[in-house]
Amino acid sequence: MTADATGRGRIAVYLAALLVVLVDQATKYAVQSTIPLYESLTVIDGFFSLTHVRNPGAAFGFLAQVSPAYRFAFLVTVTLAVIVLIIFFLERNRQAGTILNAALALVLGGAAGNLIDRVSQGEVVDFLDFYIGTVHWPAFNAADAAISVGAFLLIIDMVLRKKND
């Protein structure tokens, strides 16, 4: 691959990550502007609602019960480390494949989206609420979805690389 093609590929990864951040922040803004905190808007009765909640912790409320100062410092530090590591990897491995680049773009954008919330509001805005009857999956947001899909793509990339070795 030529340096020019590699440069365009890297730019595409960063643009995709930026798109994730923009979608994440736009959807969170829309929810905060239209749905009062702790209220829901039913989309599919008995299955899916838009529910405005806040998560002071990490995924699934991890660390939500820890002191706010420690939790904030820990989560911001870990998120910044992940962002720096992804950028470092992208800059050092300019010939990463499409699946790996897509995975890293999704994780990078999702991490940045949630970091924006954490730094500006001290917690993350969640609103995607899936459930069956009274059993709810923990609410999440577009950044969380991007991180999850990115992690899944990372696993696929690792399996494919192992298979090709």
Burial class (CB in 10 A: 0-12, 13-18, 19+), 154: middle
Q: What are phi and psi of 140, to 5 degrees?
A: -145, -175
Closest CA to 148 of 88, 103, 81, 97: 103
CB-CB contact of 80 with 116 (8 Å): no
Using DSSP, state whether 36 is helix, strand or coil: coil
The C-alpha atoms of residue 29 and residue 42 are separated, in whole angstroms, by 18
Closest CA to 93 of 101, 82, 105: 101
The C-alpha atoms of residue 19 and residue 163 are separated, in whole angstroms, by 32
The C-alpha atoms of residue 154 and residue 82 are separated, in whole angstroms, by 14
Q: Is 24 a catalytic residue?
A: no
Catalytic residue among 24, 117, 126, 129: 126
Q: Is 129 a catalytic residue?
A: no
Catalytic residue among 24, 129, 144, 157: 144
- Catalytic amino acids? 126, 144
